[in-house]
Chains A and B, each alone.
Chain A
Amino acid sequence: MAKVVLENVTKIYDNDFEAVADISLTAKDKEFVVLVGPSGCGKTTTLRMIAGLEDISKGKVYIGDKVVNNVLPKDRDIAMVFQNYALYPHMTVYDNMAFGLKLRKTPKEEIIQRVEEAADLLGIEELLDRKPKQLSGGQRQRVALGRCIVRKPKVFLFDEPLSNLDAKLRVQMRAEIIKLHNKLKTTIIYVTHDQVEAMTMGDRIVVMKDGYLHQYDTPVEIYNNPTNKFVAGFIGSPSINFFEGKLKKSDGDIVFAGDGFSVDVPDEFEDKLKDYAGKEITLGIRPEDVYHKPYSTSADYPANFVANVEVVEPLGSEFQVNFLVGDTTFRARLEPKEEPVMGEDMDVVFDMKKAHFFDNKTEETIV
C-alpha cells in the first residue's frame, strides 16, 4: 500500500503530439482515484506512465516515496487490469493467477494458498482448471482481478476494465470492485470514460480533457461545483443544460436574458457577476433543477417562464422532458405525477440558486 504522486507529468510522443500535459496529482494511500474523460484525453496514457509501460517525457512519478521514472514495470510492485483482460490464453486460470508469484519465486504452498484465497474472494474456485477462452466475459474479468489480488501489490491500476461487459454485468462488477477495495484497502487508480462509473466508484475523480487535468476532487464536489463548462457538461447524466445569453440590469436586479426567456439571478451571485453586466455569458442548469411550476416548492430561488414540451420520455420513476424555448432545447427531470403533454406550453421553473455561469471566452466557471 502506498500513495501515488504525479509531479508535472507530461507525455510527448515522437510525432510531437502532447498526450498528457503537466499533470500533478496525489492519490493518497488506500484511496480510490478515478481518471475520467472523453477518449483521447490522455487518461490511459497517464495510467500507463504510472505502470511504467510508457516513458515519462517530463515530470516525476512517485510510488510510495520513491521516484519510479526509471524503474521497470516488473519492479514497481503494481498490478494492472487491462481493458481486454490480457489473460494468458495458453495458461489455466490457476496458472494465470500464479504467474506473477512464480516469477517472484514465492514458495509453492504459499502460491496455492494465495490463489485459492483470491479465487474464493472472487467466487471463481470452480474455474481454476479452465483456460481463458472457456470463460465468459464476467468470469475473465474476475480472473484478471484475481491475478492482481494474489500479488498483494502496492497499487492497483485499472484500464477501463468494465467497458467490454454488458450493461447489467457492468453494474454488478462495479459494485464488486467497490467491495473489493473496501476489503483490501489497496490504493487504486482507475481509468474510465464512463462518468457514472467515475461518480459511483471514486473517492476522488480526476476529470481530464485533451491531456489537461480539469478538476480533481470528490464526486459530489465536482458535480456541485464544476470548475469549468467542460467538467459541468461531462459529469452528470442526463447532462447539464447550457444557455447562451446576456446579463442585463433591470430595476437594480441582474437578469439573465436568454433566447426567448429571461430569469432573475440570485443576489448573492451579483457580486461575482457584476463585471459581466451587458456581456455574453453562458448559463448552466442541471435537469433536476428544472421544475414544473406547481411542483417547484423545493426550489430555493425559483425563476419561471413558459416553454414548450417537445419530447416526453416516461421512465416510471420520473419523466425526462425536452423543452423548447426560443431555438434552444433543454432537458428536465420531472416528477412522475406531473404528466406533461407533448406540444403543450408549460410553466417552467429554474432553481437559480443551483445555476452555474460560465465565461464565454475562457469557459471557466464564474459562479
Chain B
Amino acid sequence: MRHKTKPFHYIIIYAIVLFFVAISVYPVLRVITISLRPGDNLLTRSLRIIPEDATFENYIKLFTNEPFLLWVRNSVLVTITVTIIGVVLASMAGYAFSRHKFPGRKLGLHSLLITQMFPATMLLLPLYIMISKLGLINSFLGLIIMYSATALPFCIWLMKGYYDTIPPSLEEAANVDGASKFTAFYKVILPLAAPALVIAALFSFMTAWNEYIIAAQVLWYEDMFTIPLGLKSFQGNMTTEWGLYAAGAIVISIPVVALFLFLSKWLVSGLTLGSVKE
C-alpha cells in the first residue's frame, strides 16, 4: 500500500514550493517589467508585471543605438573558446588523473582543489600582474586564460570523478580489440563520459558568460567589452539607464536558460553521477 498524503500536507507542501518559486521568479519578473517600461515611466510604483504602456523601445535601442551586438560577439567568442578549452583539457587531464599513476598525481589533484578555496577577487591582483607582464591586458587571450584557469580545476575534478566510475576493463577490452590508448579513450570512454562533459561545458560556459570582475580588470576599451561589462557601462556617473540595463540582462539570460533547458536531461543524470553504480 502506498502511503497516502493528506490534503493538509499538500497545502503545506505547495505553500512552501510556491514561496520559493516566488522568491526566485519575482526578481526576474521585475527585470522584465522594467525592461518593458517606457523611458519616462521608470520610477512608477505600479506593481503590474506588464506595465500599462509596455514597449519594446529598450530592446530596439539596445540593438540599434548601443554596441550591444559587438559585446555579444565578444562574449560569444570568449565563452566558446573557454568552453572548448575547458572541456578538451578537463576531459584529458581528468582521464590522466583517474587512470594513471604518476609522480605528483596527488599533489596535482590537491593543488587543483586548493585553488577552489580562494575567491576570485583574492586572485585578482596576482592574476592581473601576470597578465600585464605577459602583455595580455586588453586582449581576449588574457581573459580566456584567466577564465580557463578558474574553470579548469572544478572541471578536472568532475571529469576525474566520472571516469573513476567507468570500469577500466572497458579500455582494456578496447586495447585487446586493437585500439591504441588514445583510440580507446576517444571511442569508448569519452562517449560514456558525455554527462560529465556536458556539466563541464556548462560550468565553463557559465564561468565566462556571466563574469564581470576579472573582465573589468583585463578589458578597458568599450569595443572589447563582454556583455557584463557592457551592461555595467549603462550605469553612468549621473544616471543609470535601467531600461536598457534590464533589457540587456533579459537578452543575455536567454542563451543560458535555453542551454539549461536543452541540457537538463543530461544535467539531472550528471548531477547524480557516481552515486549509483552503472
- How far, in whole Å, are A80 and B172 apart by their CA atoms in the complex? 9
Question: In the complex, which residue of chain A has the Cβ closest to the Cβ of B188?
Answer: A88
Please measure, in the bound complex, the distance between the C-alpha atom of A302 and the C-alpha atom of B23, giving whole angstroms: 91
* Of the residues A51, A52, A103, A133, contact of B179 by C-beta under 8 Å: A103
Q: List 8 tightest A-B contacts by C-beta distance, closest first.
A: A100-B177, A86-B173, A86-B169, A103-B178, A73-B175, A80-B176, A74-B178, A82-B169
Total count of chain A residues near the partner, CB < 8 A: 27
Given A86-B170, A90-B192, check contact A51 B176 (CB 8 Å): yes
Q: Is the interface of A mostly helix, strand, loop or mixed?
A: loop
Across the two chains, which residue of chain B brings its CB closest to A81? B173
* B191 close to A90 (CB less than 8 A): yes
Chain A positions 69 through 80: 1 when the CB is less than 8 Å from some CB of chain B, otherwise 0: 000111010111
Tell me if A84 is interfacial: C-beta within 8 Å of chain B.
yes
**B175: which of A72, A83, A147 is its contact (CB, 8 Å)?**
A72
Chain B's interface size range is 10 to 19
Selected contact of A53 from candidates B172, B178, B180, CB within 8 Å: B172
Q: A151 contacts the other chain (Cβ, under 8 Å)?
A: yes
Within 8 A of A (CB), among B149-193: 167, 169-170, 172-180, 183, 187-188, 191-192
Contact A74 B176 (CB under 8 A): yes
Distance (Å) between the CB of A96 and the closest chain B CB? 9
Given A82-B172, A86-B173, A74 contacting B167 (CB threshold 8 A): no
Hey, which chain A residues are within 8 Å of B188, CB to CB? 88, 90
Contacts of B179 in A (CB 8 A): 74, 99, 103
State whether the Cβ of A89 lies closer than 8 Å to any Cβ in chain B: yes
Q: Complex Cα distance A99/B192, Å?
A: 16
Given A88-B188, A89-B192, A90-B192; A99-B177 close (CB under 8 Å): yes
Check A104 for interface membership: any CB of B closer than 8 A: yes
A53-B172, A80-B172 given; 10 more Cβ-contact pairs under 8 Å: A51-B176, A78-B176, A86-B170, A89-B192, A99-B174, A99-B177, A103-B179, A147-B173, A147-B177, A151-B177
Chain B: minimal CB distance from A108 (Å): 17
In the docked arrangement, what's the CA distance between A38 and B177, Å? 29
Residues of A within 8 A of B192 (CB): 89-90
- For residue A104, which residues in chain B have a CB less than 8 angstroms away from its CB? 178
Bound together, the chains give a CA A73 to CA B183 distance in angstroms of 13
Minimum Cβ distance to chain B for residue A145 (Å): 13
Residues facing B in A57-78 (CB within 8 A) are 72-74, 76, 78
A79 and B174 CA atoms in complex are apart in Å by 10
B183 touches A82 (CB 8 A): no
Q: How far is the CB of B265 from chain A (nearest CB, A)?
A: 16
- Cβ of A147 to closest chain B Cβ, rounded Å: 7
Smallest distance from the beta carbon of A98 to chain B beta carbons, Å? 10
Q: Which residues of A contact B187 (CB under 8 A)?
A: 99
B176 and A79: CB pair below 8 A? Answer: yes
Query: A193 CA to B170 CA in the complex, in Å?
Result: 22
Q: In the bound complex, how far is the Cα of B246 from the Cα of A133, in angstroms? A: 49
Nearest residue in B to A97 (C-beta to C-beta)?
B177
Question: How many angstroms between the C-alpha atoms of A319 and B177 in the bound complex?
Answer: 49
B-facing residues in A34-50 (Cβ within 8 Å): none
Residues of chain B contacted by A157 (CB below 8 angstroms): 176
Instruction: Find chain B residues with CB under 8 A from A74 CB.
Output: 175-180
Chain B nearest CB, measured from A294 CB (Å): 56
Q: Which of A51, A52, A84, A147 contacts B167 (CB 8 A)?
A: A84
| Complex alpha-carbon distance, A78 and B172, angstroms | 12
A88 in contact with B174 given A74-B180, A82-B169, A103-B183 (CB within 8 Å): yes
Residues in B neighbouring A82, C-beta threshold 8 A: 169, 172-173
Interface centre among A51, A74, A80, A147 (most CB of B within 10 A): A74
Q: Which residues of B contact A89 (CB under 8 A)?
A: 192
| Shortest beta-carbon distance from A171 to chain B in Å | 25
Shortest Cβ gap from A60 to chain B (Å): 20
The interface residues of chain B lying within 8 Å CB-to-CB of A14 are: 101
Which residues of A92-115 have CB atoms within 8 Å of chain B's CB atoms? 99-100, 103-104
- A84 surroundings in chain B (CB, below 8 A): 167, 169
Minimal beta-carbon separation of A319 from chain B (angstroms): 43
Contact A88 B176 (CB under 8 A): no
Tell me the minimal C-beta distance from B106 to chain A in angstroms.
14
Q: Which of A73, A83, A90, A133 contacts B176 (CB 8 A)?
A: A73
CB distance from B221 to the nearest CB of A (A): 47
**Interface residues in A102-147 (C-beta closer than 8 Å to B):** 103-104, 133, 147
B172 neighbours in A (Cβ, 8 Å): 51, 53, 73, 80, 82, 86
